[in-house]
Structure 1
Amino acid sequence: MAMRLLRGILSLLKWGLCAIGAVALIFTAMIATPLQRPPELRSVSDSVKGVDFSTLPALERFQARDGTWLGFRHYAPSGQPTGRGAVFIHGSSGSSATVNHALTAAMATRGVETWALDTRGHGASGTRGDIGYVGQLEDDLVDFVAFLRRTAPDLPLTLVGHSAGAGFALRVAATPIMQDMFVRTVLLAPYLGYDAPTNQPNSGGWANADIPRLLALRALRKLGIDCCSELPVLALAVPPNSAKILVPTYSERLMRNFATRGYRIDLPALTHPLTIFGGAEDEMMISSRYAEAVQAVKPSVDVKLIEGVNHMGIVTNPKAVSAIAEDVATRGAGQS
């Protein structure tokens, strides 16, 4: 009897180990799936045309809490100072030195003291395409604002973000420890999360995700195994040979952090005014759905669409640049 019971236990153990091995092989195969780079998206590449980079401020650096030196550019206000400030967060792949310079320079010419940050993983900040942990971008932004407060202790700051950077700005605006650092948040063509009704399929050809790898890493996290988050899971449609300027891929932890937690989660937590600007001709987002999507969750969100403007045009098109710069210059002291 005892031998029969032992044989039964050993048989169960054998099949259990086989099942674990099979699952491990499946996870390994999913994680090993190669990330496919999408072809260059010309509407993004062509957005650089017409941007005057001769006025781009010099790169400066500050030291984050982990000792890493992160890059930023400071735009001193010209003309009549408004007594307002702004921190600008670029979109996916970009930096403080890319096409958003057209908008950040315009805000400064309207008297808004403006800082454009190289978010960690981009530009001159850290390892391209990767960060150390989810939450590090928030830590960096807290450190950056503390750095700014040494010279501008009382300046009311508006947080402005574009595309994926707008999703991150929404994440920040909903975080209790950070939301009071900014009197207002402005989102430009925001990416509101993978399940938002405002997304064009595959972001209009801009982004290609490694779905098997993402699903495997998510399943492992639910099992309490947090591994391999440094692996690339998102490829962006940047031009060939542009890696010195643009970031071609994101690690899993950077992709998760440089985004909203989900607009249905973050919007209810807002305590300060929020405005969304979208381009009516946006090829990555369905801008006509912004108002319905966000106001169903947070009716007080202000949504503005600009005709004749695409995704990158929201930071380069003169009509969009003028409207947004004027908005930040005149509503940056907490007005809704």
Structure 2
Amino acid sequence: MSAGLLFVVGLVSLTLIMLAAALLFGGPSPAPAMASINDPFKGIDWSSMPPLSRYPARDGAQLAYRYYGAEENVNDNKVRGSVVLVHGSSASSQSMHRMANAFSQAGYDAYALDIRGHGASGRKGTIAYIGQLEDDMEDFIKAVAPGKPATCIGFSSGGGFVLRVAGSSRQTLFDNYLLLSPYLGPTAANYRPNSGGWVRAGIPRLIALSILNGCHISALNHLTVLNFALNEEAKSLLTPSYSFNLASNFQPERDFQQNMRNVQRPCAVIAGADDEAFQTDQLEPELRRLGIPWPVTILPGIGHIPLTLEQDAIAAAVQAVDKLAQ
């Protein structure tokens, strides 16, 4: 065997060993509980939360959502449209209860989804393939047919996923889009390392799986790549970790800037000035650098989770949808 061939064989062997080591030992470390994410939900009254409803997905799964019908005696008893709410990472439809209830009181039909891999929709922490979440969203619209104008609202990672939909060929599923402190990716100007402590990522495993997927090998995409900073009680109720498939799908496209440029429907952004997960003061400059004129509202004194819980923040979201739906 020639020296050149020996070198190539050795290089390939070393690469395979490094990939195997990254896959086996390069997963995420545990994430210490983050009080500012866990604590705001304590003491919330869930008594008026509607039960789960189900819709059929194309693979036969029955996926979950909660329906908050528009309350009567609002706007001359006329439903003003609908909102479809997408929760943040690790969460479920329950986390959007206060916001969904407020939209119902404002005259909108509100639907809070359990995104597949969360809550009561499928196996927690994973999905079958990248792109399944968009398929599920299309199946939801076909099965439930929310009233027009329909606005899709996403919070945090859910905001990143809503952006993914808004910039895709399926953006016509909704009339408008609202992003609440959206996760845009690790290269975006609003990114904080580890999302301010909320996430621990297995970077070696992420890189190895990305390489394999670039070679059209997805058999190991069920491996865990993200852990979330949940306390012990929340771990039993929510989704404490994500597989590569779910982490890759529940966010914008990798080229988030092009994802934004592709959006043709009305879109707005709201975030809190005191957000500990993202640098929200960078959202508007990022958009303006790309020549995107979406309205951006930064609310003083509002942190990450309070954006979905505090009355002033919820009122700002309702007002934004009112303007988008005009």
How well do the aligned residues superpose, as a CA RMSD in angstroms?
1.5
Match of 1:146 among 142, 145, 150: 142
Q: Secondary structure of 2:235's match?
A: coil
* Higher CA-based Rg: 1
In structure 2, the residue matched to 1:88 is: 85
The whole-number CA distance in structure 2 between the counterparts of 1:134 and 1:297 is 27
Match of 1:283 among 266, 272, 276: 276
Q: Secondary structure of 1:145's match?
A: helix
The question of 1:226 aligning with 2:218 is answered yes
The whole-number CA distance in structure 2 between the counterparts of 1:166 and 1:109 is 23
In structure 2, the residue matched to 1:59 is: 52
The whole-number CA distance in structure 1 between the counterparts of 2:218 and 2:193 is 29
Match of 1:238 among 208, 230, 242: 230
In structure 2, the residue matched to 1:101 is: 97
The question of 1:189 aligning with 2:185 is answered no
The whole-number CA distance in structure 2 between the counterparts of 1:223 and 1:173 is 28
In structure 1, the residue matched to 2:263 is: 270
Q: Secondary structure of 2:177's match?
A: strand
| TM-score, normalisation: structure 1 | 0.91
In structure 2, the residue matched to 1:4 is: none
Residue 83 of structure 2 aligns with an amino acid whose one-letter code is: A
| Aligned 1:128-139 pairs, distance under 5 A | 128-139=124-135
Match of 2:38 among 39, 45, 49: 45
User: Deviation per CA, 1:43-92, whole angstroms, max 9, x where unpaired?
Assistant: 01111034321110101111100001100000001141442101000000
| Aligned 1:140-179 pairs, distance under 5 A | 140-149=136-145, 152=146, 155-176=148-169, 178-179=170-171
Q: How many Å apart are 1:221 and its aligned residue?
A: 2.4
The question of 1:209 aligning with 2:201 is answered yes
Match of 1:251 among 243, 252, 258: 243
The whole-number CA distance in structure 1 between the counterparts of 2:193 and 2:293 is 28
| TM-score, normalisation: structure 2 | 0.94
How many residues were matched structurally? 320
Q: How many Å apart are 1:289 and its aligned residue?
A: 0.8
Q: Secondary structure of 2:236's match?
A: coil
The whole-number CA distance in structure 2 between the counterparts of 1:60 and 1:332 is 27
Q: Secondary structure of 1:123's match?
A: coil
In structure 2, the residue matched to 1:303 is: 296
The whole-number CA distance in structure 2 between the counterparts of 1:275 and 1:327 is 7
The whole-number CA distance in structure 2 between the counterparts of 1:224 and 1:54 is 47
Q: Secondary structure of 1:55's match?
A: coil
The question of 1:68 aligning with 2:96 is answered no
In structure 1, the residue matched to 2:120 is: 124
Residue 186 of structure 2 aligns with an amino acid whose one-letter code is: Y
Match of 1:318 among 311, 316, 320: 311
Residue 42 of structure 1 aligns with an amino acid whose one-letter code is: A
Q: Which runs of 5+ in 2 are unaligned?
A: none
Residue 258 of structure 2 aligns with an amino acid whose one-letter code is: I
User: Deviation per CA, 1:191-238, whole angstroms, max 9, x where unpaired?
Assistant: 111111101221110001000101111122233433311100011101
